[in-house]
A and B are shown apart, each in its own frame.
Chain A
Amino acid sequence: MPAIVEKSFPSAITGERKEEKLKVLMVDKAKCTGCHQCELWCGNEIGSVAKDLYLAINEVPQPVPRVFVQGKKFVLQCRHCPDAPCLSACPNGTMRTDPETGVVYVHEPTCIACWMCVMVCPFGIIEPSSSLKVAIKCDRCRNMGYPICAEVCPTQAISLQERPNPSPT
């Protein structure tokens, strides 16, 4: 698994570390009230076809949010790992990295629902949608202005920040 590699060298091709450019969604556990608004609006804005909550609620198949409010009031979405295990598990290049931003995303038209990515994601945030027949995960709203979960969070527990600089290894 690539994640075990001690990667202490810069990429010869880009000459710099990709992750320096990458902004990630950070979650402040103390601020999360577990209100599920991020899940709701992510499901509506990203997951649904209608993008209108009144209609999305009754959509079949059920829209899938990319963010998870977990047990003890904590939000989790894809971390966009610099060495993402899902990238090497994907057997047909459906899981991709945006070279500009480092965002890891599912290229849905080619996803064949083999769930290999689900099998290796250490965070458990890839949802195998049997009804939609695609693996669903956060793409950090790469086609939108700003991540919806961070935008709607009433306590600003979710925020978009620079990935912390890698400590020397």
Chain B
Amino acid sequence: MEFIQKKTADSAIEVYLTKAASEGISLTWDRFEGQLPECGFCETGLSCRDCLQGPCISHPFRDASKEGVCGKDRDIMGAQSLLRLVIKGAMTIIAEADELSAEIAAGKTSPVNPSQADFIGNDLARLLGNGTANVLAELPAPLKENWQARGVLPGGTLKDIFKASQKLEGGLAGVEELLLRGVKAALLACMAGKLHGRLKKALFGAQSPTKIEIGLGVMEEKQANVLLVGTLSPFLKTKILQAAQGRNIKVVGVATEPLLAYGTISPVTNYAAQEIPLLTGAVDLVVAGDRYVNPSLVKIARASSVPIVYTEALGADGNYDALSARIMEMAQQSFAVRQGLDRRVNPDRQTAVMGFSGGQVPARAVADALQEGQIKGLAIISGSGNVKYTQDRFLVAMTEDLVKRDILCLSTGEASVTLGKYGLLAPAEVDKYCGRGLASFLNSLGKDIPPVLDFGPGENGAALDLLIAVSGVSGKSLVDCPVVACFPEANCVSEVVEALWYVAHGVTTYFWPALPVTGSPQTMAALNEYLQTSFGASLPVPTDKRLEPLDRSRIILKHLKIADASIVTQGGHAWKRT
């Protein structure tokens, strides 16, 4: 089966696709083709592997296999497929917050604001313990009351995560109950993620907008390059940056947070293309964690004799001074061997300004601009890229359409990196991309403001905090504000969790690709109507695979009551027959 779809919109990446093909290196896209057609039961949420009597399916076209061995029907399977993702995603987010807290407790650094760090660390522990956290007390009262009434107010890891996982073991929970369990788990993760963000602030100080270079071109052909991949301890990253000082070693990253208090780690590309930097021949050492790191990276690195430092192994070196020194040593040795090899780096790079989560965007100003019609709405843009779509195409084209229509776009995490590659985080490009109202609003915020504002990792909740603050100063609930969240190319489970918590806050969220619930009419309906009734916002699952980027942004504009949303559909299935 051949996959007829352009692989990437990024011309710098495309160069290396040809190279990979000629060298017989299998990339994400090739492996995706090998998976096609993906299991239709799993894709639509009609499968279950929760016990050892299975695996079971609910067959849409065969009466004899409509229910699993235990009697789960398509609706329960669909709702549970979603819950399963949510539990896993929530655990990831919580684990990260907990790890940082543990590192502080272990004395890895002295925080900028020690008492604050201490306070937040304790608050996180209480939140995860039994849910009695200050972070919940700050919530707008109506929101908190509603959550209380719906039974989704976080109550600690045992009650929210463990209990939700029990729902996959059987029982009588219907679609709505399962969905609420998911919301509850998501809200616990939301609060943990938020505390995680605050902890960073207490450790390193408030984030200020920072100029950074993005693109493969940041790597140096004539010096050693260390590539940091995935989620890594900020302490370790800081140590590595410090160790690299004055050593003629360039530290770059992919799918890792680029901004540190100490300095920046330039993203060479985004998650979806994380294998490509290795194809330049200029990566001399890989430092990798777990989250966002594709196992294929190891194979490609080995094949091109690039050493890898794995930081997440049980019993891994916790002495970051020693580890970073060793990393530098290894990088230099590797470069000594590799400098004679073919190193050809595509010079494309873009300037970006990232890091607006530190309060540079006053909620009052945003509320006023909304009031005056200078900007028409707020959109959170998230999602780390998905091989099911031409890399970057949807995310970039949709965001361009939104800013053109005076929507203030707040991007998070990998979405920021993606937009940065195309100049959407470059202050010089405001007039090129933005509608007149948005452009003048951005200029009013100060110098060097880009078309799209990066708000750091999505799970730290800075963008959502701004939305809540705007609703606060407007005296309206979020449900009544022109806000929306959008994941044009989502790939990982934590993004599903984020989507659910946005909705629980009253922010309708558009999520692509379709969540694995499409086989369950009840779950599909509940994500629209039941969530709307419960939280005033919905998580619609768009299933039309033919929608082009502008069709999709029209859906969002229509939600914000802006454009006459005439949807133009064209194209066909993502996969075609030969």
Contacts and interface: CB of A to CB of B under 8 A. Distances in A.
Interface string A35-50: 1110111011001000
A53 interface: yes
Interface residues of B, number: 25
A56 B518 CA distance: 11
Contacts, number: 62
B323 to A, nearest CB: 42
B532 interface: no
A56 to B, nearest CB: 7
B41 to A, nearest CB: 7
Interface string A49-80: 00011111110001111000000000000000
Contacts of A58: 521
B60 A57 contact: yes
B545 to A, nearest CB: 7
Given A145-B578, A151-B577, A54 B37 contact: no
Q: Which of A53, A62, A151 has the most CB of B within 10 A?
A: A53
A65 B62 contact: yes
Given A54-B518, A57-B518, A145-B578, A62 B37 contact: no
B167 interface: no
B514 A54 contact: yes
A71 to B, nearest CB: 10
Contacts of B39: 35, 37
B210 interface: no
B65 A36 contact: yes
A152 B543 contact: no
Contacts of A44: 40
B44 A57 contact: yes
B79 interface: no
Contacts of A47: 61
A54 B544 CA distance: 8
A40 B545 contact: no
A40 B514 contact: no
B37 A152 contact: yes
Given A36-B41, A58-B521, A151 B60 contact: no
A57 B62 CA distance: 11
A17 B396 CA distance: 60
B578 A52 contact: no
Q: Which of B59, B61, B514 has the most CB of A within 10 A?
A: B61
A27 B408 CA distance: 57
Nearest to B521: A58
A31 B521 CA distance: 34
A36 B514 CA distance: 22
Interface string B6-40: 00000000000000000000000000000001011
A39 B62 contact: yes
B529 interface: no
Given A37-B40, A146-B577, A64 B543 contact: no
Given A37-B39, A40-B40, A151-B577, A56 B57 contact: no
Given A54-B518, A145-B577, A151-B1, A41 B60 contact: no
B43 interface: yes
B437 interface: no
Interface residues of A, number: 25
Nearest to B541: A54
Interface string A123-149: 000000000000000000000111000
B61 A53 contact: no
Contacts of B420: none
B519 interface: yes
B1 A57 contact: no
B44 A41 contact: no
Contacts of A37: 37, 39-40
A55 B524 CA distance: 12
Contacts of B514: 54
B60 A40 contact: yes
B488 to A, nearest CB: 18
Contacts of A63: 60-61
Contact of B61 (A64, A144, A145): A64
Nearest to B66: A62
A62 B577 contact: no
Nearest to B546: A52
A146 B573 CA distance: 17
Nearest to A53: B40
A63 B40 CA distance: 15
Interface string A82-115: 0000000000000000000000000000000000
Contacts of A65: 61-62
A7 to B, nearest CB: 36
Nearest to A63: B61
Interface in A1-48: 35-37, 39-41, 43-44, 47
A155 to B, nearest CB: 13
A127 to B, nearest CB: 10
Interface in B401-456: none
A108 B223 CA distance: 70
Contacts of A55: 543
A144 B544 CA distance: 23
Given A57-B60, A145-B578, A151-B1, A40 B41 contact: yes
Nearest to B62: A39
A166 to B, nearest CB: 32
Contact of B60 (A35, A62, A144): A62
10 contacts: A36-B65, A37-B40, A39-B59, A40-B41, A54-B514, A56-B61, A57-B60, A63-B60, A151-B1, A152-B37
Interface of A: 35-37, 39-41, 43-44, 47, 52-58, 62-65, 144-146, 151-152
Given A47-B61, A53-B43, A144-B577, 8 more contacts: A36-B62, A37-B40, A44-B40, A53-B40, A54-B544, A57-B46, A62-B61, A65-B61
Nearest 6 A/B pairs, CB to CB: A43-B61, A54-B543, A57-B60, A40-B40, A54-B518, A65-B61
